[in-house]
């Protein structure tokens, strides 16, 4: 007989522990334990309470990349206001074997996804000529997310091996998750990483998983329940995440 976990795993869903619009409105503390997030997936990305760095989850291990660029593996006790995960089971694989500028790379990735109206998990592993990534310094709650762009720390890595984990989200779901491709990087030696602003792959393998089911938890915090979400957050989100 299958365990409850195995049945959940087979549902092939993306799980969001909160909608991203709360983050955009400056609610940086939802106090969701990472352990709860990891019950819903072993692969994904997100951030931490108080926006304390970038999160990347690979094979059930969660890494925090802080604004000093330091990578730490964290346990289930850490807290997050936003994370998105799935149980990674790619159905299609691709390879890129020549240096490919970022715009061309994005076009290729998009061509691996048959419709912009579904979710996709994407895992990219191999050698990159260049990675431009960022992390953010810890923030006070209620600080508008768009201001944080001015405080982000950008890292440039040349000739680096590592793994990119990310998701594609349909544009019409932009209040729930970052729409389009959202990618985070971790180097093979677990020393570097961040939210990807640009990259030039040289020799990489790409796995793509199509996902047609969404599981979303709405926070029950006072901040979230009292927040006014009428504002269109799309422009803010583009400024911060693209
Ligand atoms: Zn990110």
Q: One digit per residue, pLDDT tens: the chain, 242 residues?
A: 566 666 555 679 999 999 998 888 888 888 899 999 999 999 999 999 988 999 999 999 999 999 999 999 999 999 999 999 999 999 999 999 999 999 999 999 999 999 999 999 999 999 999 999 999 999 887 777 777 778 899 999 999 999 999 999 999 999 999 999 999 999 999 999 999 999 999 999 999 999 999 999 999 989 899 988 888 777 777 777 77
> What is the 154 CA–ligand 1 centroid distance (Å)?
13
> What is the 184 CA–ligand 1 centroid distance (Å)?
6
DSSP result, 111-147: HTSS-TTSEEEEEEEEEEEEEEEEE-----TT--HHH
> What is the 24 CA–ligand 1 centroid distance (Å)?
12
Using CA atoms of 196, 71, 40, 14 in order, give the dihedral in degrees to the nearest 10: 0
The total number of structural domains in the chain stands at: 1
> What is the 47 CA–ligand 1 centroid distance (Å)?
7
Supply the pLDDT for residue 55.
Answer: 97
Q: Which domain holds residue 87?
A: 4-241
> What is the 231 CA–ligand 1 centroid distance (Å)?
21
> What is the 46 CA–ligand 1 centroid distance (Å)?
6
CATH number at residue 18: 3.30.1330.80
> What is the 2 CA–ligand 1 centroid distance (Å)?
34
Phi and psi torsions of 214, nearest 5°:
-120, 135
Supply the pLDDT for residue 30.
Answer: 82
């Amino acid at each position: 007989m299958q365990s409850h976990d195995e049945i959940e795993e087979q549902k092939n869903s993306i799980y969001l522990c909160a909608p991203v619009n709360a983050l955009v409105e400056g609610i940086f503390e939802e106090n969701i334990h990472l352990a709860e997030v990891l019950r819903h997936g072993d692969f994904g990305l997100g951030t931490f309470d108080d926006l304390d760095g970038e999160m990347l989850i690979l094979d059930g291990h969660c890494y925090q990349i802080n604004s000093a660029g330091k990578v730490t593996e964290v346990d289930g006790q850490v807290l997050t206001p936003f994370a998105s995960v799935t149980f990674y089971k790619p159905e299609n694989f691709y390879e890129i074997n020549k240096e490919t500028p970022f715009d061309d790379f994005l076009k290729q990735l998009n061509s691996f996804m048959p419709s912009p109206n579904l979710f996709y998990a994407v895992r990219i592993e191999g050698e990159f000529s260049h990675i431009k990534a960022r992390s953010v310094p810890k923030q006070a709650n209620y600080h508008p997310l768009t201001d944080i762009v001015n405080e982000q720390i950008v890292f440039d890595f040349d000739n680096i091996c590592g793994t990119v984990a990310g998701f594609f989200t349909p544009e019409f779901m932009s209040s729930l998750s970052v729409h389009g491709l959202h990618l985070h990087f971790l180097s093979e030696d677990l020393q570097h990483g961040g939210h990807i602003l640009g990259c030039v792959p040289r020799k990489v393998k790409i796995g793509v998983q199509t996902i047609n089911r969404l599981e979303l938890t709405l926070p029950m915090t006072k901040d979230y329940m009292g927040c006014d979400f009428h504002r269109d957050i799309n422009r803010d989100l583009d400024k911060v995440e693209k």
